[in-house]
Amino acid sequence: MGNDVWVILQQREGALHRMSIEAIGVGQKLAATTGGQVIAVLLGHDVGAIATTVAAHAVASVQVGDAEALADYTPGGYRRALTGALRDAAPTYVVAPHTYQSVDFVPRLAQAIDAALVPEIIGIEQVDGETLFKRPILGGKLHARVRVKGEGTTVVTIQSGAFSASDAQKGDAPASIEALAMPAEIASDRTIVGIEQVGDDDQVDLSKADVIIAAGRGVGGADKMGPIEALAAALGADIGASRPVIDSGWLPRDRQIGSSGQTVAPKLYIAAGVSGAIQHLVGMKGSSTIVAINKDKSAPIFNVAHYGVIGDLHEIVPALTAAIEEAKG
Amino acid sequence: MRIAVCVKQVPNTEARLRVAPDGRWIDQEDLSLILNENDTYALEEGLRLAEAHKGEVVVITLGPDGAKEALRKGLAMGAARAVHLKDDGFLDGDASAVGRALAAAVRHVEADLVLTGSQSDDVGYAATGSIIAGELDWPHAWLVMGLEIASADAGQATVVREMESGMNERAQVPLPAVIQVQAGINQPRYASLRGIMQAKRKPIDVLSPADLGLDASQVGAAGSRIEIVDVAFPDSGAGAQLLEGDDAAQLASQLVDKLRNEARVL
């Protein structure tokens, strides 16, 4: 059993996912508790340029698993590529970003190496010499602190934005880039047929909007969208929505904001009846001014809002429209 | 084609939540419990496949006595029968322990396909379906927004998976497989009154770890590698200025004032 920390980076088509650097920062933090080294691991085909970028950080080495079978991500391919190496190295921790790609393969990788799995951590605490991981539960309404039992490797995935990429320390000199031995056969159990953009070409581009009114589940129905539209008209705003609104068919899918929709950063973002699941928050928390209107004071949206109005949106939104019209004179 | 749909009963997070006296979970007394949202979509997808290919759905859950309500809902929607992994030994498991038990139940009912939600609304590990697949050594696909199986003996499924930033991946997965369904894949049906009446006569098999050939050390808290130490509310509204009151017009004009003169965005 080593005391190192392995960090699994994410790339697609030669571009490093920004959360890979956040993961390196967490790896460095955990390595400080184990006294071990940080090993960055990159899978793909012809990904040398990314390896060079990563090597600028304070890591012991960048291990590159290069194989044609890894050119496209597949869960079976990634799992089989890493199982042997992780079994041999037996690191204390493995860190990966909690992205859609990682969540697809990391649980089975953890299972394959008999590791404990702590998904979607947002914090790390040392309590009486023990490492506890903080993670959201119940849609982010509460946080749980979790401990790992037993011996062996622990795999953690980190929530998007919970740790800052700027916390990842750069090295004094570039780290060495080494080839990670790959198994002869990296068979996948999934055949990728194609990658496609959701929606058609003329979809709404919310990323350029100055003001966005986001409708949430609390709006209550497609027939109750009128006050939201009136507020948007008063502000010259675009209308967006959280996922439940889209899934219920109240608004078309090209209005969805969040991890599986658009990422936006307007000057003003008004969330009406949006509870604030993390999948929504990652798509809008970069907005300059965030207003949340929700009758539930414990809704996670209030954790990212600058201004919160606690009340029934069906009363507040029309009142807000009237107040804005009045202010305009 | 026998389709196992694994479901979970979870607290309704719209309700007011309180931390339990022992600090390790929320107080579930008097709290309304509902079928996990993504699992409802998994059930609907399973029922549609069963109807298209003359198959049957077996709905499976792991949980305390009250979890049979989740099974009743599945039966009322149209599942043929249900399996309840009900034993104190099953409780408080992490994804590895729960996945191990559910995989054993899938073997027990001899299913050809497993559907489940991509994530639970309570602990939200987003891993249990993958663990089931690993135990069975079947392929899996997580966050599935589209599922097509041409016929009962097609040998493969075509799935559409969500990726980040509005991209979708279309892929072929050999069967048998575990498909982890994302909300929005379909419009789940409501149980009809007739369905609810019929559900009362449909069988629910209650199984213990021993019935599944599992040792007590492999399931529940004993079989888990992680445990919750405590839970707490985050500092709600940390950094947010909260406006509260009964007069909507007054709240609105306060907000407009702040947006105009403080944030300067109006």
Distance from CA of A192 to the nearest CA of B (A): 4
d(CA B223, CA B136): 18
- The residue count for chain B: 266
Convert the pLDDT of each residue in A21-66 to its tens digit.
999 999 999 999 999 999 999 999 999 999 999 999 999 999 999 9
A160 or A238: which leads in pLDDT: A238
Give me the percent of chain A exceeding a pLDDT of 70: 98
- pLDDT at residue B23 tops 60: yes
Strand, coil or helix: A151: coil
pLDDT digits (tens, 9 = 90+) for B208-250: 999 999 999 999 999 999 999 999 998 765 678 899 999 999 9
Residue of chain B with shortest Cα separation from A120: B125
Q: Select the residue of A246, A247, A298 nearest B233 (Cβ to Cβ).
A: A298
Record the tokens describing residue B92, joined without a space.
């408080």
Quick one: pLDDT at residue A324?
Answer: 94
Closest CA to A43 of A24, A61, A21, A69: A69
The pLDDT of A154-168, averaged and rounded, is 92
In Å, what is the CA distance from A27 to each residue of A41, A95, A97, A178, B2? 12, 6, 11, 19, 44
For residues B204, B185, B13, B119, the Cα torsion angle rounded to the nearest 10 degrees is: 70
Q: Give the strands of the sheet with B226-232, arranged side by side.
A: A123-127, A130-137, A142-148, B226-232
Task: Answer yes or no: is pLDDT of A127 > 60.
Answer: yes
Does pLDDT of B15 surpass 90? Answer: no
CB-CB neighbors (< 8 A) of B176 in chain A: none
Q: Which of B127, B166, B248 sits opposite A261 (nearest CB)?
A: B166
- With beta carbons under 8 A apart, name residues in chain B contacting A262: 166
Q: Which residue has the tokens 């139940």?
A: B105
Name the pLDDT band for A192 (thresholds 50, 70, 90): confident
Element spanning A196, H or E: strand A191-197
H or E element, residue A178? strand A176-179
In this predicted structure, what is the pLDDT of residue B262?
86
pLDDT of residue A290: 96
Q: Are the beta carbons of A148 and A13 closer than 8 angstroms? A: no
User: Do the chains contact at B229 and A144, CB–CB below 8 Å?
Assistant: yes
The whole-angstrom separation of Cα B147 and Cα B144 is 7
> Concatenated DSSP letters for B5-28?
EEE-EEE-TTS---B-TTSSSB--
Q: For residue A261, which residues of chain B lie inside 8 Å, CB to CB?
A: 166
Question: What's the pLDDT score for residue A198?
Answer: 67
Mutation for testing the A interface, residue in B9, B179, B251 having most A CBs under 10 Å: B251
Please say whether the beta carbons of A25 and A77 come within 8 A: no
How many Å apart are CA A100 and CA B34, to the nearest integer? Answer: 26
* pLDDT attached to residue B186: 95
Flag whether pLDDT at A96 surpasses 90.
yes
Distances in Å between the alpha carbon of A305 and those of A238, A272, A293, B117, B245? 19, 12, 10, 30, 18
Picking from A288, A298, A307, the nearest residue to B236 by CB comes out as: A298
Residue of A nearest to B187 (CA): A248
Chain centre to alpha carbon of residue A325: 38
For chain A, the first-to-last Cα distance in angstroms comes to 71
What mean pLDDT value characterizes chain B?
95
Cα–Cα distance for residue pair B176/B55, rounded to 1 Å: 14
In chain B, % of residues over pLDDT 70: 98
Of B13, B169, B265, the CB nearest to A139: B13
pLDDT of residue A189: 82
Of B96, B158, B171, the CB nearest to A111: B96
Mean pLDDT for the stretch of residues A94-114: 97
For the segment B33-48, the average pLDDT, to the nearest whole number, is: 97
Helix ranges restricted to H, chain B: 37-52, 68-77, 95-109, 128-136, 193-199, 248-261
Closest CA to B180 of B224, B241, B138: B138
- Residues A262, B166: C-beta atoms closer than 8 Å: yes
Half-sphere exposure of A8 (CA within 13 A, CB side): 28
Whether pLDDT at A201 is above 70? no
| Helix-helix angle B128-136:B95-109, to 10 degrees | 50
What Cα–Cα distance (Å) separates residue A162 from each residue in A56, A62, A282?
A: 22, 24, 10
Name the one residue in this structure whose structure tokens are 């709006």. A219
Q: Which of A144, A267, A310 sits opposite B242 (nearest CB)?
A: A310
Inter-chain residue contact A190 with B139, CB threshold 8 Å: yes
- Check residue B236 and give its pLDDT: 62
Q: Do A148 and B226 touch (CB under 8 A)?
A: yes
pLDDT band at B146 (very low <50, low <70, confident <90, very high): very high
Closest-CA residue of chain B to A137: B123
Closest CA–CA distance from residue A150 to any residue of chain B (Å) = 7
Count of alpha carbons within 13 Å of B251, Cβ hemisphere only? 25
Q: In which region does residue A199 sit, left (phi positive, over 0), alpha (psi from -120 to 50) or beta (all else)?
A: left
pLDDT at A7 (0 to 100):
98
- With H, G, I as helix, E, B as strand and everything else as coil, classify residue A274: coil
User: Among candidates A9, A95, A85, which has minimal Cα distance to A53?
Assistant: A9
Structure tokens at A108: 């089975």
Structure tokens at B66: 């009250």
Q: Determine contact, residues B121/A139, Cβ cutoff 8 Å.
A: yes
CB B169 within 8 A of CB B30: no
Between B164 and A109, residue with greater pLDDT = A109
CB contact under 8 A, A143 and B234: yes
Tracing tokens 């992490």 back to the chain, one arrives at B94
Average pLDDT score over residue span B35-61 = 97
pLDDT of residue A329: 76
Q: A–B: how many Cβ contacts below 8 A?
A: 261
Half-sphere exposure of A193 (CA within 13 A, CB side): 10
Residues of B in contact with A307 (CB under 8 A): 240-241, 243, 255, 258-259, 263
Q: Give the pLDDT score at B252.
A: 95
What's the pLDDT at B118? 97
Chain A partners within 8 Å of B243 (Cβ):
307-310
CB A324 within 8 A of CB A211: no
* A245: its two tokens: 């609104």
Q: Is A288 exposed, middle or buried (0-12, 13-18, 19+ CB in 10 A)?
A: middle
* pLDDT on residue B235: 73
Question: Is the pLDDT score of B108 beyond 80?
Answer: yes
